[in-house]
Chain A
Amino acid sequence: MEKMVTLTINGEQVTVPEGTTIMDAAKKAYINIPHLCFLEGLQAEGACRVCVVEVEGEPRLVPSCMREVHEGMKVYTHSERVRKARRMIVELLLANHPTDCFTCERNQICELLKLAYELGIDKIRFDAKKPQYELDETSPAVIRNPNKCVLCGRCIRVCHDVQTVRVIGFINRGSDTKVATYLEKGLGNVPCTNCGQCIHACPVGAIKEKSYVDEVWAAIADPEKHVVVQEAPAIRAALGEELGLPPGTLVAGKMHAALRRLGFDMVFDTNFAADLTIMEEGSELVGRITGKIKKPLPQFTSCSPGWIKFMEHFYPDLMDHVSSCKSPQQMFGPLAKTYYAEKAGIDPAKIVSVSIMPCTAKKYEAQRPEMNDSGFRDVDYVLTTRELARMIKEAGIDFANLPDEPAEPLMGVYTGAGTIFGATGGVMEAALRTAYKLVTGKELEKIDIEPVRGMDGVKTATVDVNGLEVKVAVAHGLGNARKLLDEVREGKSPYHFIEIMACPGGCIGGGGQPISFDMPLRKMRCDVLYKEDKQLPYRRSHENPSIKKLYEDYLKEPLSEKSHHLLHTEYTRREIGG
C-alpha cells in the first residue's frame, strides 16, 4: 500500500501519498501555485523558480514543482517573502522580454503575460537591453524567435523526452544562454520532424508555425485563381476551441460554412481522401500479407509526415516497411488538379490548392520536391487550425452561429472511418474495417475496435480475419514509436500492421492545433471524432459513394497504375547529422 504523508499547507492539513510534490499537494489545499517552466506531462526542471514556496526550517525558498513533501512539513505558498520573490522573478523575465505583445501570436494566451497580471506586477524596475537574436526561419514549418524565449526549456524537454528527436538544446551560459539546434544550423537543416510539439510546450510566442495566411488571402482575392480547400479530420474536433465554443464541440458543418464565407471557391474535405487512403493502404496490407506485394511486414502507416521524416532520419533501414501510400493531404492534392480539374473543366494551372491541417509537418510535406504528381505543386498552401481560426476572426465571421453545411460531394463525402483518422488508433481501426472486407468479402461485425482507442502510448490488438490472427499495434508520440520500431529492427516484432502518429494523441494533438499540451483535452478531441463516426451514414471507407465513383470514373481500382502514379510515393534516406 502507498505510504501517506501528512503536512500543513498554509495551516491546512493535507494527506497525500509519499513522493508527491508540494505543488501537487497544494492542490488539495485548494491552491494552484503559479509556475512557468513546469508543464504537466513533462519532467519538472526547476528553472524559473516562479513556483517557490516557504518551508519552515529551510534557509531558502524551495521550488514546489520538484520538492517532495515529508511528514510534518509546514508550507506557506503565498507569504510576503514568497510573493516578493515571485514578483521579482517575473519582473526579471519581463525586463528581458520584447514588448511587442500587440503583434504577438500568443496575444491573449501568453503564459508570461498571464503571470504578470495574476501576480499583480505594476512596474518593471529595470531598464534592460533586450536580446537581439536572429530568428530561425530555416524551416518551412516551424519558426523560432529566440528574442521571446524565456528559457524555460519546455520545448527541449518535449523534443528530447516525448519525441526523442533531440534537435534542440541549450547552448552557451549565463546571459548568453539560448535554445539552439546543433551548431546553430537552424531547424530546417537538422533532423527536426516539424511535429510542432515544441510549439504547444512553449509558454510564450517564441515558436510558431510558418504562416501562409497572406498568400491564401491573396489567392482568394485573385479572380484568375480557383481556390479549392480541404480540411483534415482533426480540424473539426478543435477549431471551435479557438472560436468561442466549448472544447469537445464537433464543428464540421460550421467549418465548411465558414470556408465558403471566407471566399474559397470549392470546399472539399480531407476526410474523403482519408477514405481513399484506406482503400489503397488496406489493399497494400492485404497484398503484403498474401505475398502478392513483395514487401516486409509489419506494414507501417504513412500518413503522418512528422513520423515519415523521423523514419527517414533515424530508421531508414525500416523504409520498406512503410506503406507507399501518400498521406490523405497529398492524395487529395494531385486529384484536385487532375480528377476535379477534368470533371469541372478548369485549367489546373489556375487551381490553387489549400489544405487546413492540424499539423505543422504537413507544411513541410507539401513542399517535398516529389509532391508534384499532378504536374503542378500538388498542394500549394498548408494552413494550421490556428491560422484558419485567425482568418475566420479577421473576416468577422460569427462562427458559433453559422449553419451546418456539407462539403462539395465530389471530393467531400466521407465515412466514419475517414473521420477517426484524426485520433490515435483511428487509421488502424479504419483500415481493419476495410481490410476485413477485402479479405473475407464480408463486413466486420464488431466495427468499434476499442483496444486501439484511448491515450495509452502503445496499444495493441488482435483481429481474426478468416482464421488469420492479424496482430496490430498503434503508437503516438515519437518516443512511443521507437519502442515498436526497435522491436522491428531487432526482428522481434509480432505485428502485421503498425500505425504511427508523430504527435501525442494523434492528429488532434498536432503541432497546428489550438495551443495546448493537455492530454485530457486531446482525449476529448478524439471523442468528438468517435462520436461523429457513430452519427455518419457510412462508417466504412469502401462504402463511400464518392470513393466508389472516383474508382469507377478515374482510378479503376486500388493500386492501379493511375493510383500508383498519383497516390503513392517513395522515401528518402536522410542523415542524422542534418
Chain B
Amino acid sequence: MEKILLKNIDKPDSQDIETYISGGGYKALEKALSMKPEDIIAEVKKSKLIGRGGAGFPTGLKWEFTRKEKGEPKYVVCNADEGEPGTFKDRVILNKDPHLLLESIIICGYAVGAEKGFIYIRGEYFEEINTLKKAIEQAKAKKMLGENILGSDFSFDIQIFKGAGAYVCGEETSLFESMGGGRATSREKPPFPTQFGVYGKPTVINNVETLSNVPSIILNGGDWYSQIGSPDSPGPKLFCLSGHVNKPGVYELPLGTSLKELVETYGGGVKGRFKAVLPGGVSSSFLDTLDVKLDYKSVMEAGSMLGSAAVIIMNSDTDMVNVCKNIMEFFAHESCGHCVPCREGTRRAREIFALFANGEGKAEYLDTLLDLKDTMYDTSRCGLGQAALNAGASAVKLFRDEFTKRIKK
C-alpha cells in the first residue's frame, strides 16, 4: 500500500516546509479553505475515520458536535502526550513530518470554527518540541498560520503546551485539567470535551495520528479513504510493534492487516516461540494467537482491544505473573488517585500479583481479581482505571496454571 501517514519521513529535510510543500503539502489546506466547513466535516464523516488515540470514537462526529456547540471560543487540542508504554508512533510524525500535523490541525480548526489550537506534547519529547516550534515559525512566515490564512478571512494560531509528565495526562479530561493549571485528574463525563473541554470551552481533542489522516481525506475524498483496509474501520494505521520480535518498530499498514502478517512479514518473526500478545498495549487483554485481524472490531471480537495499537509480543520464556506484576505497578503508580475502584483496585491488584510472583499467592485471589476487574471496568471514572486490570485478568484466564503454581502451599 502506498503510505499516507509516513510518506514523507524518509525524505531528506522532511521537517522543512519547502520539502513538505514540494511533496504537495498544504494543498489540502488550500482546498479546505475553499470548502464550506460543513462539507469538510461531511467528508471526514464519509471517510469513517475513527480516533487513533485509544478510545476509537468517530472523528467526523466529534467535529460535528463541536461545530454545533454554542459556546465560544472553540479550541482544537492535539493530543501528543503519547504516554502509553509501547507507543512511539506519534513521535515519528512529530519529529519527521511536523507540517503534516500542523496542516491537519489548521483544517480541523477551520472545520469546527475554532480560533486556536494547542499541541499538548509529552514533556520529554525535547527534540520534537523544537521541531514543532520551528515548523510553526515557518508556517507563519508562509501565511499558513496566523491572521488571514492564505489570504482567506480565517485566522488561526497554534500553541505548544508541554505535558505535565504523568500517563493520566494523556486522558483527555485530565489533560484539560492540567492545561488549566489544576491537578491532573480526570473529570466526570458528561459533559464531554465537545461541550466542556479546555478552559471549559467546546473542544475537539484528537490524537496526532488521527489528525494526520485529514489532509489525504480532503484531497482524495472520504469515499476514497473509506475503501482502504477494513470496511468497519478503514484507513492506514501506525502499528508500534515491540517485545519479542526480530524487527520492532513503527509500521504503517491498513487496518485489517493480520497480526501474523505484521509480525512475520514486517517484524521479522517472533524471537523464540510465540506465547501471547497485547494488541493494544498494557491497557488491553492478552490474546494467545496471532490469527487475528488488526482492526478495532476484530480485535474486540477476539477478546481484547486495539487501543493505540501498541502491539507487544511475548515469547514462551515470558513469566506472565511477572508481566502482570509490572503492568500493575505501572497502573498503581499512574492512577490519578481520584476514584476508589482505580486507586484502591490497582494497589490491591499490584499487591496480589507481587504475592504470586513471590510464590505466596492464594487460590481465592484469582476469582477476586476477576471480580475486581469487572468493578474497575464498570465504575472507574476514566479509561485508566477502566482498563487497568484487563491484562491482569486475561492472564489469569489464559494462563491460570502459571498462577496456581505460585500458590503458597
Using a CB–CB distance below 8 Å, which chain A residues touch chain B? 46-50, 52, 60-61, 63, 66-67, 81, 84-85, 88-89, 92-93, 95-96, 125-126, 128-129, 150-151, 169-170, 172-177
Say how far B408's CB is from chain A's closest CB, in angstroms.
12
Most chain A C-beta atoms within 10 Å of own C-beta, residue among B190, B340, B365, B368: B340
User: A49, A52, A170, A175: which contacts B183 (Cβ < 8 A)?
Assistant: A170
User: B184, B335, B352, B379: which contacts A89 (Cβ < 8 A)?
Assistant: B379
State whether the Cβ of B375 lies closer than 8 Å to any Cβ in chain A.
yes
3 nearest A-B pairs in the assembled complex, by CB-CB distance: A177-B337, A92-B344, A88-B375
Q: Are B343 and A88 in contact (CB under 8 A)?
A: no
Chain A residue nearest in CB terms to B187: A46
CA distance A66 to B184 in the complex (A): 20
Q: Are B379 and A61 in contact (CB under 8 A)?
A: yes
State whether the Cβ of B247 lies closer than 8 Å to any Cβ in chain A.
no
State whether the Cβ of B304 lies closer than 8 Å to any Cβ in chain A.
no
Say how far B211's CB is from chain A's closest CB, in angstroms.
26
Which residues on the A side are within 8 Å of B386 (C-beta)? 60
User: A50, A63, A67, A84: which contacts B371 (Cβ < 8 A)?
Assistant: A84
Q: Are A46 and B339 in contact (CB under 8 A)?
A: yes
Say how far A276's CB is from chain B's closest CB, in angstroms.
48
Q: Are A177 and B379 in contact (CB under 8 A)?
A: no
Which residues on the B side are within 8 Å of A170 (C-beta)? 183, 185, 337-338
CA distance A49 to B376 in the complex (A): 10
CA distance A125 to B371 in the complex (A): 11
Which residues on the B side are within 8 Å of A129 (C-beta)? 351
Q: Are B334 and A60 in contact (CB under 8 A)?
A: no
Which residues on the B side are within 8 Å of A52 (C-beta)? 378-379
- 25 A-B contact pairs sorted by A residue (CB < 8 Å): A49-B380, A50-B340, A60-B386, A61-B378, A67-B190, A84-B374, A85-B341, A88-B341, A88-B371, A88-B372, A95-B344, A96-B347, A125-B364, A125-B368, A126-B348, A151-B340, A173-B166, A173-B337, A174-B332, A174-B335, A174-B343, A175-B332, A175-B335, A175-B337, A175-B343
CA distance A172 to B168 in the complex (A): 13
Which residues on the A side are within 8 Å of B344 (C-beta)? 89, 92-93, 95-96
With A61-B378, A63-B188, A125-B368 in contact, is A49–B340 under 8 Å at CB?
Answer: yes
CA distance A93 to B344 in the complex (A): 7
Which residues on the A side are within 8 Å of B332 (C-beta)? 174-175
With A49-B380, A49-B381, A151-B337 in contact, is A175–B347 under 8 Å at CB?
Answer: yes
Chain B residue nearest in CB terms to A94: B344
State whether the Cβ of B17 lies closer than 8 Å to any Cβ in chain A.
no
User: B166, B339, B379: which contacts A60 (Cβ < 8 A)?
Assistant: B379
State whether the Cβ of B283 lies closer than 8 Å to any Cβ in chain A.
no
Q: Are B381 and A85 in contact (CB under 8 A)?
A: no
User: B337, B341, B372, B375: which contacts A174 (Cβ < 8 A)?
Assistant: B337
Most chain A C-beta atoms within 10 Å of own C-beta, residue among B347, B372, B380: B347
CA distance A81 to B184 in the complex (A): 30
Chain A residue nearest in CB terms to B186: A46
Q: Are B346 and A175 in contact (CB under 8 A)?
A: yes
State whether the Cβ of B26 lies closer than 8 Å to any Cβ in chain A.
no
CA distance A95 to B350 in the complex (A): 14
Q: Are B334 and A92 in contact (CB under 8 A)?
A: no
Chain B residue nearest in CB terms to A152: B340
With A66-B188, A92-B344, A175-B347 in contact, is A85–B337 under 8 Å at CB?
Answer: no
Q: Are A92 and B348 in contact (CB under 8 A)?
A: yes
Q: Are B334 and A174 in contact (CB under 8 A)?
A: yes
Interface string of B162-177 (1 = CB under 8 A from A): 0000101000000000
Chain A residue nearest in CB terms to B377: A60
Q: Are A174 and B333 in contact (CB under 8 A)?
A: yes
Most chain A C-beta atoms within 10 Å of own C-beta, residue among B183, B343, B345, B381: B343
Q: Are B340 and A47 in contact (CB under 8 A)?
A: yes
Which residues on the A side are within 8 Å of B365 (C-beta)? 125
Chain B residue nearest in CB terms to A95: B348
State whether the Cβ of B112 lies closer than 8 Å to any Cβ in chain A.
no
Which residues on the A side are within 8 Å of B190 (C-beta)? 67
Say how far B278's CB is from chain A's closest CB, in angstroms.
21
Chain B residue nearest in CB terms to A123: B364
Q: Are A84 and B375 in contact (CB under 8 A)?
A: yes
Which residues on the B side are within 8 Å of A125 (C-beta)? 364-365, 368, 371
CA distance A50 to B379 in the complex (A): 9
For the A-B complex with A170-B183, A174-B343 known, give 13 more contacts whose Cβ atoms are closer than 8 Å: A49-B380, A61-B379, A67-B190, A89-B379, A92-B348, A125-B364, A128-B347, A128-B348, A150-B340, A172-B337, A173-B168, A174-B346, A177-B337
Which residues on the A side are within 8 Å of B380 (C-beta)? 49
Q: Are B343 and A89 in contact (CB under 8 A)?
A: no
CA distance A97 to B311 in the complex (A): 39
Interface string of B317-346 (1 = CB under 8 A from A): 000000000000000111111111101111
Say how far B32's CB is from chain A's closest CB, in angstroms.
34
Please report which residues of chain B, range 369-409, place their CB below 8 angstroms from some CB of chain A when the two chains form the complex. Answer: 371-372, 374-375, 377-381, 386
Chain B residue nearest in CB terms to A176: B337
User: A66, A93, A174: which contacts B340 (Cβ < 8 A)?
Assistant: A93
Which residues on the B side are within 8 Å of A173 (C-beta)? 166, 168, 184-185, 333-337
CA distance A173 to B381 in the complex (A): 15
Which residues on the B side are within 8 Å of A49 (C-beta)? 339-341, 379-381
Say how far B58's CB is from chain A's closest CB, in angstroms.
16
Chain B residue nearest in CB terms to A37: B340
Which residues on the B side are within 8 Å of A47 (C-beta)? 338-340, 381
Say how far B243's CB is from chain A's closest CB, in angstroms.
25
Say how far B370's CB is from chain A's closest CB, in angstroms.
11
Most chain B C-beta atoms within 10 Å of own C-beta, residue among A47, A52, A95, A150: A47
Which residues on the B side are within 8 Å of A84 (C-beta)? 371, 374-375
Most chain A C-beta atoms within 10 Å of own C-beta, residue among B332, B372, B375, B381: B375
Say how far A394's CB is from chain B's closest CB, in angstroms.
36
Say how far B307's CB is from chain A's closest CB, in angstroms.
16
CA distance A92 to B341 in the complex (A): 7
Please report which residues of chain B, range 121-167, place their CB below 8 angstroms from some CB of chain A when the two chains form the complex. Answer: 166
With A89-B379, A96-B344 in contact, is A126–B371 under 8 Å at CB?
Answer: no
Say how far B348's CB is from chain A's closest CB, in angstroms.
5
Q: Are A46 and B188 in contact (CB under 8 A)?
A: yes
Chain B residue nearest in CB terms to A50: B340
Q: Are B368 and A126 in contact (CB under 8 A)?
A: yes
With A60-B386, A170-B337, A173-B334 in contact, is A92–B345 under 8 Å at CB?
Answer: yes
Most chain B C-beta atoms within 10 Å of own C-beta, residue among A67, A151, A169, A172: A151
Which residues on the B side are within 8 Å of A150 (C-beta)? 340
Which residues on the B side are within 8 Å of A169 (C-beta)? 183
Which residues on the A side are within 8 Å of B352 (C-beta)? 126
Say how far B66's CB is from chain A's closest CB, in angstroms.
21
Say how far A87's CB is from chain B's closest CB, in angstroms.
9
Which residues on the A side are within 8 Å of B379 (C-beta)? 49, 52, 60-61, 85, 89
Which residues on the B side are within 8 Å of A95 (C-beta)? 344, 348
Say how far A129's CB is from chain B's closest CB, in angstroms.
7
CA distance A126 to B351 in the complex (A): 9
CA distance A461 to B332 in the complex (A): 56
Chain A residue nearest in CB terms to B367: A125
Say how far B67's CB is from chain A's closest CB, in angstroms.
22
Say how far B332's CB is from chain A's closest CB, in angstroms.
5
Say how far A124's CB is from chain B's closest CB, in angstroms.
10
Which residues on the B side are within 8 Å of A61 (C-beta)? 378-379
Q: Are A89 and B340 in contact (CB under 8 A)?
A: yes
With A60-B379, A125-B364, A174-B347 in contact, is A92–B340 under 8 Å at CB?
Answer: yes
Chain B residue nearest in CB terms to A36: B340
CA distance A493 to B168 in the complex (A): 47
Which residues on the A side are within 8 Å of B372 (C-beta)? 88
Q: Are B374 and A85 in contact (CB under 8 A)?
A: yes
Chain B residue nearest in CB terms to A46: B188
Q: Are A85 and B378 in contact (CB under 8 A)?
A: yes
Say how far B8's CB is from chain A's closest CB, in angstroms.
38
Chain A residue nearest in CB terms to B168: A173
Say how far B351's CB is from chain A's closest CB, in angstroms.
6
